[in-house]
Amino acid sequence: MIRVLLEGLNVLFFVFHTCLILFNITGWAWRRTRPWNLALLGLTAASWFLMGIWKGTGYCIFTDWHFQVRAALGIHETADNYLQLLCRTLTGYDPAPLLVRQVAALFFGTSVIASGVLNLRDRTHGVALSVSN
């Protein structure tokens, strides 16, 4: 029973974490999701950089929990981070941790700039969401 629960959590973490990342890098593209995207990018930055003070830069609580579930399943994780694990799982390619971190930083930085600029533009041009939207 515990094994079935852990296997379900493993799949759930893959789905949830991947969707979270996809929203981080695309959520700025739609006016209705921009405020949520900016908030999530802020939480991601807090995890990476504030929690990272104690846990190491780039720390993610979801990656930590996911790797704990995989360890409980007897999977001894060799990936340095979630994106490396995801890439290896989906394609079989195991990229170098530094490459993965550089690509993640590029996408994250671009998303922060896009979300910040578009959220600011929406607010200054009176396009902020109303309750009826």
> What is the pLDDT at residue 129?
53
Instruction: Quickly state the pLDDT bin for 58 (edges 50, 70, 90).
Output: very high
Query: For residues 2 and 66, what is the distance between their CA atoms, to the nearest angstrom?
Result: 15
Instruction: Read off the pLDDT band of 131 (50, 70, 90).
Output: very low
pLDDT at 105 over 70: yes
CA distance 58 to 71: 20
What pTM does this model have? 0.88
Q: Pick the closest to residue 69 from 77, 58, 81, 59 (CA basis).
A: 77
Residues 3, 75, 64, 25, CA torsion sign: negative
Do residues 95 and 29 touch, judged by C-beta distance below 8 A? no
